[in-house]
Each structure stands twice: as C-alpha cells, then as structure tokens.
Structure 1
Amino acid sequence: MAFKPGDNPRHTNSWYAASARDKRVRPTLEGETDADICVIGAGFTGISAALELAEHGYSVVVLEAERIGFGASGRNGGQIVNGYSRDLETIAGRYGRDKAVKLGEMSLEGGEIIRGRIAKYGIDCDLVHGGFFAAFTDKQIREMEHHKTDWERHGHAGLEMVSKADVGKYVKTERYAGGMIDRLGGHVHPLDLVLGEAAAVESLGGRIFEGSRVIGLDMGEKPRVRTERGSVKASYVLVCGNAYLAPFLPEVHGRMMPVSSQVMTTEPLDKELIESLLPANYCVEDANYILDYYRRTADNRLLYGGGIGYGGNGPSDLTGVIRPNMLKTFPQLRDVRIDYAWSGNFALTLTRIPHMGRLSDKVYFSHGDSGHGVTTTHLLGKILGEAVAGHAERFDVWASLPNLPFPGGRTFRVPLTVLGAWWYGLRDRLGL
C-alpha cells in the first residue's frame, strides 16, 4: 500500500492516512449558522465532547482547520494507556489526597469510553486488548510495583507483574528485565477511531466542517466563532485545538508547548515473524523518560515510535531517529523496509497534567494531555459535555488544578525543557 498524493488530502504522509477506512472530505463552512454548541477542533477531545452532547440532543457544529484527526489524534501510536502523564501518588503530593482520589475515580474511564463507543456505534478500528510496560532495570521494576499498588488502591484490577523469564510471552527481545501487563490497556487504529466517532456525531445530527480554520471568537452572552468564510453563533463554545491551536487564543496556547513525536511502520511482515516478535499482540511501552512504544498493526506491520522534539519541530530524518531504536529491540529486522515515517505534535503543560478551564461563562477549553492523550482526551471531552449540560462537578475538579507558565516564557521554554529531558535521559542510561 502506498500513500498517493490526493488520496487523503491535507493529512500527513502516514500509514494511518493511507489505510483509513473513511476518506470522505467534509465541506467547508460557508456563511452564518447557529448551534447550541460550537466545538473548535475535530480531534479526540472535540469529537468526544461533540458526541457526548449530540447523544443528549444538543445541536452541535464542529469546526476543523484541516481534516478530522489531522493532529495528534490521527498520528499517535494508537495505544490505550490508562491514567495520566503523572501518577496518582505525584498528583496527591502536589494537589492533595482528595484531588488524587477524585482523579483516580476517573482514571480508567477514558478506556471505557473508547470501548463503549466502538461497541455502540460499530466502529471498525482494529481494537486489540492488552498492554505491556517494559522495564530495563531493577529500579524501574520496583517503580512499577509501587505504581501497581497505588493503582489497585484506586480500583485497577487488571495489572500483573512480569518476570524477566516471562517477558518473551509479550515481546521477543533480550532488552528488558521484566515489566507489567495491563489487561485494561490495548491498541487501535486512532484515525479510524476518531473518524468513526465523527460519523456517530453526524448520525445524531451534528455537523462537521473541515478546512474551516477559526480566525476569531467574539465572546459574550451569545458567542460567535468566525472562520474565513463563515461564522457560528452558539450558546457555548468548546476550544479543543490542543497543540495545533496557535496562533489563535494565545491566552490558552501560551501555557502549553507543542512537542513532536516520531512514528514509523515497516513493510508488512511475514505473519509468523510478527507473531514471534509480539506473541500476545499487546502494545508495548518502555519505562524510560524518553520512551519507545510499538505494536503490531492489523496488516502485520510493526509500528514503532519514539523520540521527542520540544517546540514541535521534528527531525528531518525521521527514520534515522527511530530505526536504530527498533533494531536495538529487534535486530532481526535489520533488512526490513520502512514504508512510512511521520511526526506529529502533542501539547505539553509544565505540570504534565491536562488543563481545563473557562475563558468566559460560555467558553470552555481543554488541552495539554502531555503524551497520554488517547484515553484522557475521551474522558475530558465527555467532561466538557457534562459541564455544558449543567453538571460541572468533575470539570471543576480539573479546572481547580493550577496551570503554570513554563520558566523563561516562550523564549527559553524549549532550551530549559531540553536540558531537563537530557538530565532524565542520562539517568535512564546510567540506570539511576
């Protein structure tokens, strides 16, 4: 399979865009229209919120600058990873035990929402259950054991430690000292997932406009969202642009930093070979600060990701960054062809905790899932919908968490973050 120019226009040159089941281009907004809710951004957060509201009878318009799933939602590793980018113990230390308990009660919900919507709407997105967290050192194993105990206090019963002798049941490599499986994890084709959810929104009367970049937002009792060719008047506006929001609304995007991650896929592999590498068909994520993640695809490719580009600038040679790590894990793939390589940005907050809030009584936002977006965006999109419907209790928990600016402002946030990442990366290499 090859990605042909024009085959799925305005998407990046990814295996996801090439293999997407739904390549329909939605119309551009022309003229003025009205809705109960206007959602800015057709990624997981925006589509999750739109679907939650459409299910409850609200009229919804979604405005997308490019295509549904154009950003991180359609480019990520496709891994269903429960929880947040910081563990619940860290959250308790920062914000208090009460906040940790409340966030812990929600921490498995994102995955439940995904599985529930796939079943309810018959979304064909290659859902596979199970995930494996791989440890390189005994220290990382002890940390996983600690996290497992903490998770279990919050009701997660699907975790099991894996000894070095049993690593081969999940991944055939000599790199790991052990790990932990999460039976409530899994993996999907993320672009097919968000496209399936978008189709569900449309089936309930929601309208989605692509190629409709927002250029202005007039706040007030009846906000108006303006694009180059039209506008939407709505009772509420939900801002869900995440890492691709800039330059619109600097008061939101100014407190997050776009970060790129790189992904590639091999050519389709012999079925016996791919099954020998990942026998359980679990997705894998290692425990390093700058981590690798990989999984099997439905057409027997190995999808392998990793690397970090702070500020949202990916390397010019994507394969050159990822392939050496893949060969450390699976040296038997040294002669395998790489068919696709791409990068995409996610939004990072200083605290690595998502930020939700209000710009006015009628304008809400959510961003900054900090690398744990597949499940968290589904949860927070649902919570945005709840808040608009008059049930803001869970929204207010998230909105109460402090969102801090990056030290050094926009000028120095990248070099200072790179320095911190170098330090933690060094600790990983030294096993500290």
Structure 2
Amino acid sequence: MKSLIAALAAALILAPVPPAAAPAPPAIQVSPEAPLMDQPFRLSLTGLPPGRPATLTARAQAQDGVWWRSAVRLPGAPAEAIDATRLIAAMTADAAPKGGDRQAFAVTDVSQPLATTFEISAGGRRLASRTVTRRFGPAGICPFAIREDGVVGVFYVPAQPGPHPGVLVIGGSDGGFGAPQVAMMLADHGFAALSLAYFGKKGLPATLEDVPMETFSRAVGWLHRNPAVDPRFVAIYSESRGTEPALYAAATTGGVDAVVARSPSFALWGGVSANHLPGKPAWTVAGKPLPAIPNTLYPGFIAAYLGDRLTGRPVRQTPLFLEDLAHFGDTARVEIPVERIAGPLLLLAGAGDQIWPSAMMAGRIEARRRRFGRAGADQLVVYPGVGHAIPYAYLPVRKRDAAGPFAVGGAPPGETRAQADAWPRILRFLTDAAKARARPDAR
C-alpha cells in the first residue's frame, strides 16, 4: 500500500501543470446593443490591464462632414462602466472642413444611421474599438411624402398595426419640413406623426411671410381623416416660431387634444424676410394679416449688432424682442387666446435662450391659462443653463456660443441635464394625454 501511495504521489509531482489561461483581451460591450437616438446606453469595458491608465475616445461624423470627438481618462480598473450618452454629449467639433456647423451636430436626413466609434488606447496603442450605429427610428417606419388638400409634409407611421394617436409636428423659422427627427422618434413610440411644411417648399410661401393659418387647421383635419390615425387623439408638437400657429390652431380649431410648445411665444410676431430682416406680416386668416408685434431695428440693437459682428461675437436677439415688447405696449390684441385650448399644454423653455425670451413668454402663457382656470393639467418647465434649442436626442450638446452669426444660449451642464429630461417628459405627456382621451368617458 505504501508503495502504491508513493507511486501516485510521484506521478502527480511529475505530471505537467497546465498553463494559466491567458487574460481576455480588452473589449467594449454595448447595452443595449442597438440603441436608438433617444435611448441612453452604456459601455462595459473589460480586460483592461490592472493599474494601467487608459483613454476612451468617441468620434462621429455629422452629415455636413464635420467630425466631433471627446475623450475620458480611465484609471485602469479591471472593468469600467461608462454612460455613453454623456461621452457623446461632451463631443466638440473639429476645425475642418470649412462651412460646417460647429454649434450643433448637423443632421439633414433622419433616415440615415449615425455611426459612433468608441476606442480604448494606452501608451499610444489601440487596445479595443467598437462602432455603435444608431437610428432615429427602426427600419420598419416608412415615411410618406404628402401633398394633398393643401397639406405638404412627410407622414411617419409606426410599424405596428393602427390606428395610432396622431401628432402634427410644426417646426420653426428654418422652414421646410417640421422637426423630422421628432416625427421619426414619435413614430417609434407609437404615434402617427405628420412633419408639416408651411413655408420654404414648392407651392408654399418662400419665407415666413403671409403664411395662412388655414394651413394648420387643414393639417389637423387631414390627420383626423387619415385611417392610420385614431381620431380620438390628435396633438401638436411645435418649436419656436411654430408655436405661434400651433397654439393659435389649437385655440381656434376643433380636434386638438394636447399641445407641446418648445421655446414658445405667447403672442403673434411679424414676418421674417429672406435675409433674416423684419418682413411682411407672418400670419394671415382669409387672406388678411393678423395683428402682430413687429420687429423693429432700434438704434441700440443696431449698435450692439455691429459691435458683435466686428468682434466676431454671435448676435443675441433676445434683447431685440424685449425692446420690441417694451415699445409695443399693451399686447392684448396680439396675444394667442390659449384659454380656448381644451387640452393640456406642455411648455418647455431654456432660461438662457438668446434667440427670443421664451422662458418669459412661456410664463405669460401659463399666467393667462391660470387666469381663465384652464391650467389644471398643464406643465411648465424652464431649464437652467439651456438656450433656445432644447435637446431631444442623444447627440453632442451645444457648447457656449463661439461661432455662427446668432447666439443660441446655454452651456453644456444644463444642456446635458435637459437632454436626459425633455424627451422622456414629452413622451409621458403625450402618452398620458392620449390614454385620457381613449377612456370611454372622455368624450
């Protein structure tokens, strides 16, 4: 027995020891694997050499050719979890090419995916790389161009069978189709969304001048008649100058059940000519101009404008609107009768808006609604440190205005916080309003 035990011990001693498993190479995991533009996502970094600092970079090319980049230092822990949306928000634009937009990440075609590459490097050597491709909506959403019954737009219908709650999407003074990114994302969340054009397209006014208010009432009616839309709920999403006809249509046209107004106005303003100067009346009814507050280039604003242009500073337009209001006096005859809007309002504004004083004007809307006892389900949200363009997708946020002819306002910390709050808030508001209208006792 002793000899058997000795033989076994010798065999164990002489047996080859298997080599230790090689450590897994550095890798980047993405969760969820295929996020959409309005979805937060995280990166799990594994296999990093312990105690060895590394750098995580992100880069993406906007649709105008400008590259945007950001980087964060990693302390070298065995594994890291990173909020990728914050890394994207922190991106800044390269200096080249000329003519690109360096204040906002340019998106001109919402049907195209956006690729963002994340890379880990240390000591000048790339350790791992992963490209994440995101879309504004899933591939099943097929937009339809619309030009009928006086309605010009693009209709985004969810991939799931309908009918669906409807949303009319109205953009601002850039013209063309209204906020197509928003329309695409709304369709992804179950809304049939019509991105409306009201100037800047064939057959429509060329500029924001002499735009018929009937354009918007016809669009509301078109949605109600469309078989893809549940007529129990039609809402309006609007931005900037587009909030004027949105609120006016909701107040004067039946069938509008809720309104989202981003960076809104409480009153009607004058038109804007092709060279961005004060123009003819912006809005008409039955061919006649509606009363509005005209923009007037007062000497003080002209002096400030020339000073900004000479020194290369972006021009702040909010002082011009405030001066116009002070000179105009009593605004009763140009205010939008928002108390006539039966459904709830969601008003979103940036406290640092330098395009026009949207936070103050949103407050005027809320005050009028309260005065008439109509503000019960309304929401007013004013974001500190945010400018005119409140972000609604996970893209690079605007930095402090340093280029471009006009200041927008805002700073990265406030913009990043609004980016995580505004879009989920809009979806909850519209979803809750649609559910309320779908109840048997709602009508």
Q: TM-score range by the shorter chain?
A: under 0.3
Higher helix share: 1
- Higher relative contact order (CA closer than 8 Å, sequence separation 6+): 1
TM-score (structure 1 length as normaliser):
0.26
Structure number with greater Rg is 2
